[in-house]
Structure 1
């Protein structure tokens, strides 16, 4: 008995097609994973209006700066290791027999390195980066270098030419293939992969993201988290300043209340001295209660500020460190620090003079409310 197994392809693979003469124009199409390189060439010839008698060759852009020639026309897209969003480039041979990208065109694998424009990290600046601060890990153009050097830094600044900076901190090495650099990140397996990993079957048809882009995204998350914590600390400090002012004003108000009671006491008979002392004691009790509440909230704010500063220092070290594993394991702490305690509202007290009489000295001395 023979059993036949059939596979059904539900979702086609999206591809991006470019003409080497106009690489700024990108055309999006969907193709089956079992379509061949030859059928892809026919589609691109028709799309870019290239006659059949004109010699072409196809390139697979599988990293930001590397292109691989596709020369096996009978090979399927899946066998060639295509992934969703793959960029394909068609190149037309020059009339003199040469190729615009160079190479022999005889089926050998050619790698072409392309230099990408790196921009200044200063917000709002779109100029090319010329310098790199080794301490802050930031890129600057010539115009922004001065303002960067004026920024406060515990470790100072070390500006070097951007082309001379080292990138060792941004390199991940494959755990499966020793000494191989991981320049892509497999979104399905959620692990960095090297070129040898891509040639295996375990990652066929998967979607990939460049690790450099992932590093930039992680750095953006850390910077956003850091800025959020800085803002949180600033809010805590502003509340502390309000409490300091309230504490000073509260002490002054209670001092004035005591003075009023003293003036009142001096104007009446010694018979009311005991009543005056009772009122002063009540004022002191209220004063102690309010000051204790303010001091307690002040101490709580100082503890939160210290905790937030500790997290901030840890993340500053993460940004300036050279550990990709720690950067990948980063988890945001900003949400844990966003709670800002409500300001306490103290009851306003005042001294009301009473109608003093010889019969009811206690009742007529006054009240503290």
Structure 2
């Protein structure tokens, strides 16, 4: 800061540095006194817009340049990733570096802050509120049911009169102890959720202050904590013991009074929420007797293979060329991305952060598209990537085949790191057929569901890789064999798979039991996905349409 420009002194003209400023040039971003206005306007090499200081528009709070005290950092060095001033540009340190306007960086960062704030306010915090309300309700029900237990014990005690008074008191004491244990655990669960809610309130408040301040330094240094809160706290569920009264026998009063069932406390680990599609634990939704078509999107491909939901009204699609398209329900093209290799992608998915990911078998890579920039996150050797899905743990599940197409496997990734491989069952037999298409999805219970078209089977293993079941179709009359292709799962842990040649969708429960079909005049259904409202999106192979279907 200029030694004569402290907060207690009048701000001076930027040109003469002696006379108090009265005007401001908005185009040059410079403060001027009365005497220097004419001198500044005499420079006809550039445009000017001088206004009284009190009428100047709000300007960004550019940081001071640490190298040049009188300058502000209005530019950004892409290679060094730091703010710089106009003098820094010409220095040897930044020679040949790509320089951009810092306002572009600020705009992107501000958009990220706004997105985080919206997610915290509209999705994450309300889910914590809902959880806190559920625990409160369960505590009330706990009081009621334990009251019923106490009453039942009293009634049994009256029948046995004085001979069983001591036993009655012991049983009531057992009940109270169990109740206290469960209440204590629920109170602890409430405290944990409340603490997280308090942290969220503070983060929301800080984000609002940062956005309101228009401070570049604060905005640039912001680090998102949203991923920390997407994984919800553990949710404790308790089960009230049952009471089983017995016929009175004075010889065996203590046993015949009736035991309490063992104390049951079940903790469900918190769900990991999608950033743009965060999903709370929904109520049970029954299947509709007659699923209905609610929208149809024209994609413009000759053949359409995959669809992946970005939101309730926006879907990514991939067809028989190198272009992946983001479309809305009115078939309007919002964004298109061309693969880096120029070849067709094999499959697409949307990450928990709302970014597009695609597989490119031509160069054996998995690629992430972030802010329209493509980066390779996985490169394979000896194996060819096929189908992909994002997981609750913010990673990927990837199906792949060997170079000679004689082996297939599923690999779990965290970033670019392999964490699990699924290829053989407990007897050492292959879980999946060689070659062919194998669409993949992770169920809500963390089962891994693969539509193995070559084996005409849906193969489901648990998160440890142990085979749970295989589904080979429903034994109803069909014109053609069951050849599953697309596969997806919903909030109810249903498994939905596309029966392409029979033009319908099979719905299974999480244990592989057939529930019903979805027809809706489908024509060669292929890729499937489900949005946060459990609407089904179906990519039709030959019509190039994505159909949105309500089935719950």
Identify which of 57, 60, 65 aligns with 1:165. 57
Per the alignment, residue 309 of structure 1 pairs with: 201
The TM-score with structure 1 as length reference comes to 0.53
5+ residue gaps, structure 1, are: 1-64, 67-107, 115-162
Q: Deviations over 1:125-166 (max 9, x none)?
A: xxxxxxxxxxxxxxxxxxxxxxxxxxxxxxxxxxxxxx9631
Query: Could you tell me whether the CA contact under 8 Å between 1:174 and 1:182 is conserved in 2?
Result: yes
Per the alignment, residue 524 of structure 2 pairs with: none
Q: Which structure 2 residues correspond to residues 138-177 of structure 1 after superposition, within 5 A?
A: 165-167=57-59, 169-177=60-68
Q: How far apart, CA to CA, are the structure 1 residues paired with 2:241 and 2:47?
A: 80
Identify which of 221, 228, 231 aligns with 2:112. 221
The TM-score with structure 2 as length reference comes to 0.36
Q: How far apart, CA to CA, are the structure 1 residues paired with 2:232 and 2:190?
A: 12
Query: Could you tell me whether the CA contact under 8 Å between 2:244 and 2:260 is conserved in 1?
Result: yes
Per the alignment, residue 343 of structure 1 pairs with: 235
Q: How far apart, CA to CA, are the structure 2 residues paired with 1:218 and 1:323?
A: 11
Per the alignment, residue 100 of structure 2 pairs with: 209
Query: Could you tell me whether the CA contact under 8 Å between 1:354 and 1:367 is conserved in 2?
Result: no
Q: How far apart, CA to CA, are the structure 2 residues paired with 1:228 and 1:112?
A: 42
Query: Could you tell me whether the CA contact under 8 Å between 2:139 and 2:183 is conserved in 1?
Result: yes
Per the alignment, residue 86 of structure 2 pairs with: 195
Q: How far apart, CA to CA, are the structure 2 residues paired with 1:213 and 1:113?
A: 23
Pick 1 or 2: higher relative contact order, CA cutoff 8 A, min separation 6.
1
Tell me whether 1:329 sits opposite 2:221 in the alignment.
yes
Query: Could you tell me whether the CA contact under 8 Å between 1:236 and 1:301 is conserved in 2?
Result: yes
What is the Cα-based RMSD across aligned positions, in Å? 2.7
Q: How far apart, CA to CA, are the structure 1 residues paired with 2:153 and 2:96?
A: 86
Instruction: Say how many residue pairs are matched.
Output: 215
Tell me whether 1:244 sits opposite 2:136 in the alignment.
yes
Identify which of 226, 232, 244 aligns with 2:124. 232
Per the alignment, residue 263 of structure 1 pairs with: 155
Query: Could you tell me whether the CA contact under 8 Å between 1:186 and 1:192 is conserved in 2?
Result: yes
Tell me which moved more, 349-358 or 174-183.
Answer: 174-183
Q: How far apart, CA to CA, are the structure 1 residues paired with 2:124 and 2:216?
A: 27
Per the alignment, residue 300 of structure 1 pairs with: 192
Q: How far apart, CA to CA, are the structure 1 residues paired with 2:91 and 2:166?
A: 95
Higher strand share goes to which structure?
2
Higher helix share goes to which structure?
1
Q: How far apart, CA to CA, are the structure 2 residues paired with 1:202 and 1:362?
A: 88
Question: How big is the shift at 1:178?
Answer: 3.9
Q: How far apart, CA to CA, are the structure 2 residues paired with 1:223 and 1:214?
A: 14
Tell me which moved more, 317-326 or 251-260.
Answer: 317-326
Per the alignment, residue 180 of structure 1 pairs with: 71
Identify which of 102, 111, 122 aligns with 2:46. 111
Identify which of 236, 244, 258 aligns with 1:366. 258
